[in-house]
């Protein structure tokens, strides 16, 4: 990156980078506070992994990465790479990628995931509509490792203006309270603990009101399921889970409808995005609430 001035993301330039991103990138738009939460306020924020390139003061592009512990492995995730239109296809994106890889080598990170950042899921992979980005990552030795799907659900139905039933036989549904935080966290950790679901569930306790809904057995007093919404951005849904022995009774669908009702009536959302769905679970959402496939993401990974 010769002839460029390089700087890191900071309080000073965050708003400028946000506006650049909103202007120069198709198929994404976020409010500033969400952008800042994902970028600057990431608990693993490392300024050395955020590279902004300027030429004579003019913003040319930037790449932002962070370190993530995923299952048992630690790797880097790229949260964004954007080059100004007039500078594209001149090798600058590749230049930023090389600079990032050099910095990752210094901190001994060996693998990078593209556009995938649990637990906050800025994106669950490379949105295939970002055609240039797809080929860019391929050219930079990223390989496809899988696919994730987002579904959309329209929230305009008047039935969602009323709360769903709070009770189904011996199961009651409610919004989790702060007093139930420890119990819910232990439940998710115990039954759905692989990956980042416990962390995502905890993130939803930071929303006001809390965006976790729980299903409790009135006879045993124990939790049997839960659903989280808006732990990444408002309007998003997931994770969710119902204990194996209580499945196929409609509890998952009820939890889902509670979240849809909440998004519509408390958060003014018009549409809900069910994130990172794999395999036949797509059918559950389609059947339960008429959700449809709206985005496809490739999981892409490279060696540093």
Ligand X SMILES: CC(C)(COP(=O)(O)OP(=O)(O)OC[C@H]1O[C@@H](n2cnc3c(N)ncnc32)[C@H](O)[C@@H]1OP(=O)(O)O)[C@@H](O)C(=O)NCCC(=O)NCCS
Footprint of ligand X (CB under 6 A): 24-25, 80-83, 88-94, 115, 130-133, 135-136, 139
The distance of closest approach from Cβ of residue 70 to ligand X in the complex, given in angstroms and rounded to an integer, is 20
What is the phi-psi region of residue 56: left when phi exceeds 0, alpha when psi lies from -120 to 50, beta otherwise? left
Measured CA to CA, the distance from residue 302 to residue 235 in angstroms comes to 31
Q: Which is nearer to ligand X, 88 or 266 (CB)?
A: 88
Torsional class of 20: left (φ above 0), alpha (ψ -120 to 50), beta (otherwise): alpha
Smaller CB separation from ligand X, 52 or 83: 83
- For ligand X, which is the closer residue by CB, 82 or 214? 82
In the complex, the smallest distance separating the C-beta of residue 199 from ligand X, rounded to whole angstroms, is 23
Shortest distance (Å) from residue 133 CB to ligand X: 4
Task: Provide, rounded to whole angstroms, the least separation between the CB of residue 270 and ligand X.
Answer: 24
CA 175, CA 217: separation in Å to the nearest integer? Answer: 15
Cβ at position 48, least distance to ligand X in Å: 20
CB atoms closer than 10 angstroms to residue 53: 23
Q: Other C-beta atoms within 10 Å of 191: how many?
A: 16
The backbone torsions φ and ψ at residue 29, rounded to the nearest 5 degrees and listed phi first, read -160, 130
By beta-carbon proximity to ligand X, the closer residue of 37 and 257 is 37
Cβ closer to ligand X: 65 or 214? 65
Pick between residue 8 and residue 141 the one whose CB is nearest to ligand X: 141
The three-state DSSP-derived secondary structure of 199-215 is HHHHHHCCCCCCCEEEE
**Closest distance to ligand X from the beta carbon of 148 (Å):** 15
Q: How far is CA 204 from CA 118, 178, 299, in A?
A: 14, 11, 25
Long-range CB pairs of 21-25 (<8 Å, 24+ gap) are 21/80, 21/82, 24/82, 24/83, 24/84, 24/85, 25/80, 25/82, 25/130
Distance of CA 298 to the CA centre of its chain: 14
Give the whole-angstrom CA distance, residue 96 versus residue 63: 7
Closer Cβ to ligand X, 132 or 186, answer by number: 132
Residue nearest to ligand X (CB): 93
Its sign, for the CA torsion 46, 129, 284, 257, is: positive
| Residue among 133 and 227 whose Cβ is closer to ligand X | 133
Min CB(83)–ligand X separation in Å: 4
CB 219 → ligand X: shortest distance, Å?
Answer: 49
Which of 79, 114, 68, 127 minimizes the C-alpha distance to 273? 127
Nearest to 207 by CA among 274, 266, 272, 273: 266
């Amino acid at each position: 990156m010769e002839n460029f001035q390089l700087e890191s993301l900071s309080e000073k330039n965050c708003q400028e980078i946000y506006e650049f991103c909103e202007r120069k990138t198709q198929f994404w738009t976020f409010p500033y506070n969400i952008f800042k939460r994902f970028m600057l306020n990431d608990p693993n924020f490392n300024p050395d992994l955020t590279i902004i390139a300027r030429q004579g003061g003019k913003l040319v592009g930037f790449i932002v990465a962070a370190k993530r512990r995923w299952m048992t492995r630690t790797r880097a995730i790229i949260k964004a790479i954007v080059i100004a239109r007039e500078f594209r296809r001149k090798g600058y994106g590749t230049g930023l990628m090389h600079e990032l890889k050099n910095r990752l080598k210094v901190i001994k990170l060996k693998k990078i995931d593209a556009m995938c950042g649990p637990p906050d899921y800025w994106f669950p992979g490379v949105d295939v509509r970002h055609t240039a980005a797809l080929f860019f990552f391929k050219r930079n030795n990223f390989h496809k490792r899988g696919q994730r799907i987002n579904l959309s659900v329209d929230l305009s139905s008047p039935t969602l203006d009323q709360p769903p039933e709070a009770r189904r036989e011996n199961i009651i549904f409610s919004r989790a309270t702060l007093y139930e935080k420890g119990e819910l966290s232990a439940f998710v950790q115990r039954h759905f603990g692989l990956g980042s679901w416990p962390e995502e569930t905890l993130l939803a306790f930071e929303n006001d009101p809390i965006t976790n809904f729980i299903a409790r057995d009135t006879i045993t007093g124990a939790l049997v399921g839960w659903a989280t919404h808006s732990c990444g951005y408002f309007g998003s849904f997931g994770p969710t889970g119902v204990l194996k022995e209580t499945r196929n009774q409609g509890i998952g669908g009820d939890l889902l409808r509670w979240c849809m009702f909440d998004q519509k009536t408390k958060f003014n959302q018009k549409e809900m995005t069910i994130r990172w769905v794999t395999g036949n679970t797509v059918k559950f959402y389609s059947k339960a609430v008429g959700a449809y496939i709206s985005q496809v993401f490739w999981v892409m990974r490279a060696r540093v």
